[in-house]
Structure 1
Amino acid sequence: MLELPRLRVVRGVDMTEVTGQTEYALRRAGVSQVNTDATRIWLGKVHTPPGYASEAHHHGEAETAGYVLKGRAFILIGEDYRERVDLEEGDFVFVPPHTPHIEGNASDTEELIWMTARTPDNIVVNLGRADQ
């Protein structure tokens, strides 16, 4: 008999950091292949300390949706990451597959928290520091 995936509740205190990571963008998975039966979606929170930005990276074949839950963010894209997109609490963003970017905290005093969903999984391809 075929075993069907089961409904699974992951409490906030039980989120896992066993997922793709980028320096200064700590990802915690709420729904992932690690802690649920999910096979085509990843959902979690990304925390960035005040004044910091991630390394340059992309998410491979994954489509990414982001929501600024707390704080102010920016995303750098394009040639030499010169194009800047600013986001405030309540803003959503879509990042297409294979799009190199840097995500950062626009505040020097407040933590930035994103809600992020990806499909099929949290693929993280780190490209290194943009200033190297």
Structure 2
Amino acid sequence: MSDKVVPVVTRSQELDDSTLQSGECVRKSGVSPQHTPATKLWFGRVSNEPGHRSPPHHHDEAETGGYVLKGHGRIYFGDDYKEFIDLFEGDFVFVPPFMPHVEVNMSITDELVWLTCRTPDNFVTNLPDVPDEALEGYRRP
């Protein structure tokens, strides 16, 4: 006889921050192998305080989907992080596996909040940092 299968709920106050991180970009798991029976999915809340950013990083073999809940984000990528795309509330983004990038909150007054989903887990490989001045248009408060 098998165990009964039931949904697993993670309440907002129970989000798990023991997942991999990158600098000032804070990831909290909602559904993940860290604290649910999930084995092929990481789904969580990511936030950047005003003017904060991640260091350069990639997510190994994980495909990444993001959805901006609040704020103005920017993802720098490409040679020397010279290319970028801007994201606003309601936008979705796909980041391919192994793509080096920097996630930035472009506002110096408001928090950036997004939901992120990865398969199979929240892999984060941090890369050598770049100076703020190398990121076109980026500034801290």
| TM-score normalised over the length of structure 1 | 0.95
Tell me how far apart the structure 1 counterparts of residues 101 and 3 of structure 2 sit (CA, whole Å).
Answer: 39
5 Å matches for 1:103-118? Answer: 103-118=103-118
The Cα shift of 1:5 comes to: 5.6
Tell me how far apart the structure 2 counterparts of residues 129 and 23 of structure 1 sit (CA, whole Å).
Answer: 10
Tell me how far apart the structure 1 counterparts of residues 72 and 58 of structure 2 sit (CA, whole Å).
Answer: 21
The Cα shift of 1:131 comes to: 2.4
2:125 equivalent to 1:119: no
2:81 equivalent to 1:74: no
Tell me how far apart the structure 2 counterparts of residues 5 and 96 of structure 1 sit (CA, whole Å).
Answer: 32
Q: Percentage identity across aligned positions? A: 49
Q: Which runs of 4+ in 1 moved over 2 A?
A: 1-6
Q: Which runs of 5+ in 1 are unaligned?
A: none
User: Retained in 2: the 8 A contact 1:6–1:37?
Assistant: no
The Cα shift of 1:4 comes to: 6.9
RMSD of aligned C-alpha atoms?
1.5
Give deviations 1:70-129, integer Å, cap 9, x for gaps. 100000000000001111100000000000000000100000001000000000000031
Number of equivalent positions: 132
Aligned to 1:15: 15
Aligned to 1:50: 50
Q: Which runs of 5+ in 2 are unaligned?
A: 133-141
User: Retained in 2: the 8 A contact 1:25–1:53?
Assistant: yes
Structure 2: which amino acid aligns with 1:129?
A: D
Aligned to 2:38: 38
Aligned to 2:137: none
Tell me how far apart the structure 2 counterparts of residues 5 and 35 of structure 1 sit (CA, whole Å).
Answer: 16
* Residue aligned with 2:126, SS: strand
| TM-score normalised over the length of structure 2 | 0.89
Structure 2: which amino acid aligns with 1:117?
A: C
2:21 equivalent to 1:24: no
